[in-house]
Chains A and B, each alone.
Chain A
Amino acid sequence: MSALTLAQLHSGDTATIVAIHAEEALHQRLLALGFRSGKQIELIRKASFSGPLQVRIGTTDILLRRNEAAKITVCRP
């Protein structure tokens, strides 16, 4: 299994969430926002100065920092 994470994707990439390796509180928050293994996720853009990422799951747009995104493994179709 390749260890590609959400943080390594490029703007415009689409991928499938494989697993979320986050601590309890963050995991709950991600679940509530629709992060599930098997879901399609699109990286819309990255903020400059190593700022947060904008991702899209279904109809929801979410902002998250790169170190949070690094806890989400994905695979490209």
Chain B
Amino acid sequence: MKRIALLGMPNTGKSTLFNRMTGGAARVGNWPGITVELLSGKILLGSDMVEIIDLPGIYDLHGFSDDEQVVRHFLHDNIPDLALVILNATQIERQMSLLLQLRQLNMNIVVLLNMSDEAKKYGISIDSKKMTEMLGVPIFLLSGKYGTGYQEALQAITKALRYPTPGMAEQLRSQLEQDEHIESEMARVLKHAVQVPAQLPENLTDKLDRVLLHPWLGLPIFFGIMYLLFQGIFLLGQPLQGWVGDALGWLRVSALDPACAGLPVWLSGLLLDGIYNGVATVAAFVPIIILFFLFMAMVEDSGYLSRAAFLMDALMAKMGLDGRGFVMLLMGFGCNVPALMGTRVMRSRSLRLLTMLVIPFSLCSARLQVFVFITAALFSPKAAPVVLFSLYLFSFAAAIVTALLFKTKFKNNEPFVLELPPYRFPTVKQMLLRGWLEVRHFLQRATQFIVAGVVLVWLLTHLPPSAAPAGAGTLAGMIGGLLHPIFAPIGINEQLTIALLFGFVAKEIVIGSLAVIYGLSGDALGHALGQQLDWVQAYSFMLFTLIYTPCLSAIATLHNEAKDLRYTLFALAWSLALAWAVSFVFYQGARALGY
């Protein structure tokens, strides 16, 4: 029986054509020379039965991917009477190379240029007669979709089968064997230097996955791990934060105050109450930030994030997102900016835009500082971690509500296919390096924004000089008064309003600017806040801080990635509106309940 081999690059409509020719009556079979099974079918062509074999799609006859080797070995050991080469007409300039490689083998060839209808739509015109002349092989235009050219091609195939393969089998084999030399060399090196077991023994990853990806325990374990991590950061970080704060306060009293005693009052005020207080208050958070990024680096490098994507994909799909989006949200806990850039792996623009719309609700490390400070000032040590955790829940809730509301606007059907790496235990060195890089990034940002920010806040709260510092007569007081009608219904006073204005630039400034506004730092600032605010006001302030835009860099990144001003403005307006609405409902609700 004569044999026809179907050859072509992936996605040329080869398998569709194969199904059409064989009428779906195909079987899976073994062939000499190769270990994988191939589909084949028998059909009646003219008066003879012939067998058609669907070879794997390949890009390069001389390549060394698995499929390319399979095709070569098949041709070597089962020389077909006819090679039916299917090329995608819309990509003819890229696919011609495979045809020329096959022609060099001097086999009996018939070429089908498939998807010719599509090529015509792209304005690609192919002169098949001219091409036939130049290449010396029969070429036919085909539209698998509409079935045009199919009968003509079948006749040409029937005709071509009457003639024997022009080339000598020996020649063909020796050509293919040149590549086989490379193959055997590869195999020899791999065999002696590399060992891969046929069946992987059950390893630690499998054992861990059986628990961590358990159908019912997986999700509770995941949330348990997250809760413990944040608890750990809080419990370990707070004493460190206290020590750094005390050290910086001691430095001021014992060294800086005497050193600045000779300076004019306004200058020592700017330097000490402005810059030093502001920066010192922020600097006290460095230990917590270091711990936070060390823990994040550990989780990220361990391979557990992909497991989180596996566990959460079903729920994310209901929100129009996917498991990767959930991983981005988690990464956003560190910093929203890289998380926003991480969405580049998504091909569908709608999915990307929807994911980028929810990432800014991730409670990033800069916002964490604000919350750590305020919860410590207004809540008991026992309640503080729970309050903090509740803010993480609000962070998720804001993302979920946003995705649910807008998923129909950003519809997509992006496939979700992800490699699952084995668990890796990061080395101490890796973790320290990652932690250090993140801390350096944080310090760069902090110094850029915070020094400028606190100086600006100091100026706003001390100008004009005639007004009492931070009083209603200063620039800051005026701005606060102007915005008062908006922020009063959500329980945010004028001083906090100024801090929120600066928080728009970067959340790292919020506590620093409060330090400048109140002229206090560290614990003293905490006491002042604790006396002025009750917990309902403070929580409302934290909710607003959590939900309204992360920072200027995040907005800039969002705009850069989306390249759509309307989208950026929409994201901005939505987060402001949601922040106000949530704070309003919380504040008024709590007051109505008598708190």
Contact = CB atoms under 8 A, between A and B. Distances in A.
Contact of A50 (B10, B36, B314, B421): B314
Interface in A44-77: 44-52, 54, 56, 58-65, 68, 75
A30 B418 CA distance: 10
A69 to B, nearest CB: 10
B311 A65 contact: no
Contacts of B422: 61
Contacts of B213: 45, 47, 54
Interface string A10-34: 0000001011011011111111010
B37 A52 contact: no
B317 A65 contact: yes
A54 B310 CA distance: 8
Contact of B309 (A1, A25, A63): A63
B51 to A, nearest CB: 16
Interface string B61-82: 0000011001000000000000
B27 A63 contact: no
A59 B10 contact: no
B268 interface: no
Contact of A68 (B10, B27, B67, B415): B415
- For A24, A50, A63, A68, the residue with the greatest tally of chain B CB atoms inside 10 Å of its CB is A63
| Of listed B28, B218, B322, residue having the most chain A CB within 10 A | B28
B475 interface: no
Given A18-B39, A39-B36, A27 B416 contact: no
A19 B40 CA distance: 12
Given A38-B36, A49-B315, A26 B11 contact: no
A37 interface: yes
Contact of A29 (B196, B216, B315, B415): B415
A38 B200 contact: no
Q: Which of A28, A36, A45, A52 has the most CB of B within 10 A?
A: A52
Given A21-B15, A28-B10, A45-B209, 14 more contacts: A18-B39, A19-B39, A24-B11, A26-B415, A29-B415, A37-B36, A39-B36, A47-B213, A48-B215, A48-B216, A59-B196, A60-B419, A61-B421, A61-B422
Interface of B: 10-11, 15, 24-28, 36-39, 56, 66-67, 70, 196, 200, 209, 213, 215-216, 218, 306, 309-311, 313-315, 317, 322-323, 347, 415-422
Interface of A: 1, 16, 18-19, 21-22, 24-31, 33, 36-39, 44-52, 54, 56, 58-65, 68, 75
